Amino acid sequence: MANVATLFGTLWPANRKRFRLLVLAFFVLLSSTLLFFRDYSPFQEWNSSLNHHLAQPRPSNEDLPAPLISTFTVTAPPHVQTQAVTVTVPDPVVFSLIMWSHNSAVEGALLIKTILMYTSSPTEFHIICDQEARDFLQGRLALLTSPLYPVKVRFYQPTLQSMMDRVNREGSLRSDHDSGIPGLMKLFIHEILPSSIKKSIYVDTDAIFISDPTLLWNVPLKPTTAVSMSYHPDENSPMWHNASKICSCVMLLNLEMLRQVRLMDSNSYHVVKDDSYPSALSPPAFRAMYGEPDQNGYLNVKLGDQGYWWAIVENRPDIFEPLSFDFEVTSCLMDTYSTGLGDDGRSEDDELPRQSHTKGTQQEGILIRPKLLHFNCLYGVDVYMEWDGWSNPEEYVTKRWGPAVSYHHGYKWIWLNQGVQSRTGRMVDVRTLTNVEFADLQFAREYAIHAS
Ligand SMILES: *[C@@H]1O[C@H](CO)[C@@H](O)[C@H](O)[C@H]1NC(C)=O
Ligand SMILES: *[C@@H]1O[C@H](CO)[C@@H](O)[C@H](O)[C@H]1NC(C)=O
C-alpha cells in the first residue's frame, strides 16, 4: 500500500496527504462491510434469543425450586419464510450415581458421556464419590464447555467413616459384596441428596446409554411406586434367596416417597417417641426374608445392596414396579436377550422370536429395543472396557456389542461441545459438597432444636 501511495503521490505530489486519507477511508468502509456480512445471518436473532435464554443463571443454591420448565417464542426476521418457533426447555433429567475409587470413575465417566451424547434434556448428576473418583471425573468434565443442554454436577463426598456410621445406626446391615459399604449407599441415596431432589435415576457404573435418557426419566410410574427396576421372576437362585430376580443396577427412584416411608431404619429415629412419624419400612421386610438378625446382622443376604432391595420388593410389592428390559440389556445371566448389533434390516416379526430370557416375565411377547447396555459379569478386570474378551471375536458379548463399547469409549469428550458458547451463563456447573449429613442425623438435630 505504501508503494502504491508513493507512486500516486509521485504523480500528484500536491494531493499526497488527501489521497492517503481517501485510501484509508476506503479500507475502513470495505472491512466494516465484510464484517457485517460475515456476522449477519437470518438466524442470528433466534440464536441470540436462545443464547440469552440459556445464559439465564440456573438456580444456584442446593434447594432447587420446582423443575425448570420454560417456554419462549422467538420470531424470525420478516424476510425469512418461517413461522414463529417455540422452544421448550424440558425438565432436567436427574441422576444419582455412586463412584468410589478411580476405576469406578473411569467406568462412570463413560456412562456420563453416553448420557450427554443422547440426551434431549438438561442433566443433573448427583455423584456420591471419594476424592480419587472426583479427580478423574473433573478432568473429563473440564473438557465439556458447550454441551447442547445445561449440565449440573454435584459431588457428595461423605467420609467412609460417616457411611459406616450410618450403616451401624441401621443396626443390622452388612455386606458380602465387593462393592462393600459404598455399594450399600444405594439404599441411602434419598438420605444423602437434599430433600429438594424428589426423583432420580440410579445406574451402576458398568453401563452405557444408547438412547435418550429422557425416555427412562419419563417412564410413567404409579403414584404409589417408590422404586422401579428390571424384574426377572423366571430367575430362580436359591443360593441367593432369589435376589437375582431383580437388578438394583438400574433404578428409577421416587426419592420423595422413599423419604416418606422411611426406607431405612436408624437409632436416631428411636430416641424420638412421636407417633406422627412412621416406623421405618425395611426392618419387617428384612426379617420376613432373612429372619431375625444376630449380633453381626442379617444372615445370608447375598449380592450386597441387591439382597436388601430384594427383601423390600418381595415384601412390599405395592411400592415396586418392574422396569422394561429395554433399560437394562444385561450381559449377566440374560445373554443380552440374544439381541445385538447387525442385520439392521431385520423386521420386528423376525426379531421377536429370536429374543431369549423373556418367557414368564412381563416382557414376554414384547420386543426389546435396547436403550441401555449393562456389562456386568465380565470378570477378571476392574474396568469392564479393559476386559480381555473384547479382543476375542468368538465371545458372544463381543459379537453382539463389542463395536458399541469401542465406539462410545473412543468418542471424544470435546465432541460433546455441540452447543452455543454461552457468554454469561455457565452451561456446565460443577460443585462439591463435603459436609454431607445423612437425613436421619438431620432429623435428630432438627428434632432436638424443636424440642428445646
Ligand atoms: C450464535 O451465538 C454464539 C454465541 O454468542 C456465536 O458464537 C455464534 O457465532 C452465533 N451464531 C450465529 C449464526 O449467529
Ligand atoms: C425362589 O423362587 C421360586 C420360584 O421361582 C420359588 O419356588 C422359591 O420358593 C423361591 N425361593 C425363595 C428362597 O424365595
The predicted structure's pLDDT at residue 54: 53
E-only strand ranges, 160-203: 200-203
Domain hosting residue 273, numbered range:
89-326+416-443
Distance 47 CA to ligand 1 centre (A): 6
The verdict on the CB of residue 232 being under 6 Å from ligand 2 is no
The predicted structure's pLDDT at residue 313: 95
Distance 324 CA to ligand 2 centre (A): 22
Q: Annotate 275-299 with DSSP letters as a single string.
A: TTSPPPSHHHHHHHHH-S-BTTB-S
* Pick from 200, 263, 197: nearest CA to 228: 200
Q: Annotate 203-236 with DSSP letters as a single string.
A: E-SSEEESS-HHHHHT----TT-SEEEEE-TT--
The predicted structure's pLDDT at residue 120: 96
Name which residue sits closest to atom 10 of ligand 2, judged by CA. Answer: 242
Give this prediction's pTM.
Answer: 0.78
Ligand nearest to the CA of 40: 1
Q: Out of 45-54, 174-183, 233-242, pick the least confident.
A: 45-54
- In this predicted structure, the answer to whether residue 26 has a pLDDT above a threshold of 70 is yes
Name which residue sits closest to atom 12 of ligand 1, judged by CA. Answer: 44
The predicted structure's pLDDT at residue 380: 87
The set of residues, in sequence order, having a beta carbon less than 8 Å from that of 342 and lying 6+ positions away, is 400
Name which residue sits closest to atom 9 of ligand 2, judged by CA. Answer: 238
Relative to beta strand 85-89, strand 70-74 is antiparallel
- Is pLDDT larger for residue 317 or for residue 426? 317
- In this predicted structure, the answer to whether residue 253 has a pLDDT above a threshold of 60 is yes
The predicted structure's pLDDT at residue 68: 43
The verdict on the CB of residue 55 being under 6 Å from ligand 1 is no
Taking each helix axis from N to C end, the angle separating 305-315 and 282-290, rounded to the nearest 10 degrees, works out to 100
Distance 236 CA to ligand 2 centre (A): 6
Q: Annotate 57-111 with DSSP letters as a single string.
A: PPP-SSS--S---EEEEE---TTS----EEEEEPPPEEEEEEE-SHHHHHHHHHH
Count of C-beta atoms within a 10 Å radius of residue 447: 16
Relative to beta strand 246-253, strand 227-231 is antiparallel
The predicted structure's pLDDT at residue 61: 41
Integer Cα distance of 309 and 72 in angstroms: 43
Q: What atom in ligand 2 is closest to the CA of residue 233?
A: 5
Q: What atom in ligand 2 is closest to the CA of residue 235?
A: 5
Best residue among 37, 420, 423 to mutate for probing ligand 1's pocket (most ligand atoms within 8 Å of CB) is: 420
Question: Over the stretch 384-442, which tens digit does the pLDDT of each residue have?
Answer: 999 999 999 999 999 999 999 999 999 999 999 998 776 666 799 999 998 899 999 99
Task: Kindly indicate the confidence band of residue 216, based on its pLDDT and cuts at 50, 70 and 90.
Answer: very high
Q: What are phi and psi of 383, to 5 degrees?
A: -120, 115
Task: Kindly indicate the confidence band of residue 367, based on its pLDDT and cuts at 50, 70 and 90.
Answer: very high
**Which of 46-50, 204-208, 236-240, 287-291 has the largest mean confidence?**
204-208
Distance 238 CA to ligand 2 centre (A): 7
DSSP 8-state secondary structure symbol assigned to residue 424: S
Q: What percent of the chain has pLDDT over 70?
A: 81
Ligand nearest to the CA of 311: 2
Instruction: Give me the half-sphere count of Cα atoms (radius 13 Å) on the Cβ side of residue 147.
Output: 27
Look at residue 322 and tell me if it is in a domain.
yes
**Mean pLDDT for the stretch of residues 60-66:** 42
CA-based torsion, 375, 379, 383, 388: positive or negative? negative
Is residue 169 within 8 A of residue 437, CB to CB? The reply is no
Look at residue 245 and tell me if it is in a domain.
yes
Q: What is the CATH number of the domain that holds 293?
A: 3.90.550
**Mean pLDDT for the stretch of residues 59-86:** 48
The verdict on the CB of residue 166 being under 6 Å from ligand 2 is no
SS3 428: strand
Look at residue 6 and tell me if it is in a domain.
no
Is residue 110 within 8 A of residue 385, CB to CB? The reply is yes
Q: What atom in ligand 2 is closest to the CA of residue 237?
A: 1
Q: Which helix (H) or strand (E) holds 252?
A: strand 246-253
Ligand nearest to the CA of 314: 2
- In this predicted structure, the answer to whether residue 365 has a pLDDT above a threshold of 90 is yes
For the record, the C-alpha cell of 35 comes out as 464484517
The predicted structure's pLDDT at residue 110: 98
Distance 117 CA to ligand 1 centre (A): 22
Ligand nearest to the CA of 236: 2
For the record, the C-alpha cell of 18 comes out as 488527501
For the record, the C-alpha cell of 308 comes out as 436388601
The verdict on the CB of residue 218 being under 6 Å from ligand 2 is no
- Is pLDDT larger for residue 438 or for residue 56? 438
- Count: domains in the chain: 1
Best residue among 46, 49, 51, 146 to mutate for probing ligand 1's pocket (most ligand atoms within 8 Å of CB) is: 51
* Residues facing residue 320 across a β-bridge: 227
- Burial letters 20-57, b for 16+ CB under 10 A, else e: eeeeeeeeeeeeeeeeeeeeeeeeeebeebbbeebeee
Name which residue sits closest to atom 6 of ligand 2, judged by CA. Answer: 236
Look at residue 267 and tell me if it is in a domain.
yes
- In this predicted structure, the answer to whether residue 9 has a pLDDT above a threshold of 70 is no
Is residue 157 within 8 A of residue 129, CB to CB? The reply is yes
**Mean pLDDT for the stretch of residues 48-68:** 47
Q: What atom in ligand 1 is closest to the CA of residue 39?
A: 14
The predicted structure's pLDDT at residue 69: 42
Task: Kindly indicate the confidence band of residue 309, based on its pLDDT and cuts at 50, 70 and 90.
Answer: very high
The set of residues, in sequence order, having a beta carbon less than 8 Å from that of 97 and lying 6+ positions away, is 108, 111, 112, 125, 126, 127, 128, 202, 203, 205
**Average pLDDT of the chain to the nearest whole number:** 85
* Pick from 116, 117, 121: nearest CA to 69: 121
SS3 content of the chain, % helix, strand, coil (to 5): 45, 15, 40
The predicted structure's pLDDT at residue 29: 72
Q: What atom in ligand 1 is closest to the CA of residue 44?
A: 14
**Mean pLDDT for the stretch of residues 277-294:** 91
Look at residue 70 and tell me if it is in a domain.
no
* Pick from 156, 113, 124, 147: nearest CA to 58: 124
Question: Over the stretch 143-153, which tens digit does the pLDDT of each residue have?
Answer: 999 999 999 99
Task: Kindly indicate the confidence band of residue 87, based on its pLDDT and cuts at 50, 70 and 90.
Answer: low
Look at residue 107 and tell me if it is in a domain.
yes
* Residues facing residue 72 across a β-bridge: 87
Q: Which helix (H) or strand (E) holds 23?
A: helix 16-39
The predicted structure's pLDDT at residue 8: 46
Distance 51 CA to ligand 1 centre (A): 8
Look at residue 117 and tell me if it is in a domain.
yes
Distance 137 CA to ligand 1 centre (A): 29
Q: Out of 116-125, 214-223, 296-305, 343-352, pick the least confident.
A: 296-305
Is 424 exposed, middle or buried (CB count within 10 Å of its CB: 0-12, 13-18, 19+)?
A: exposed
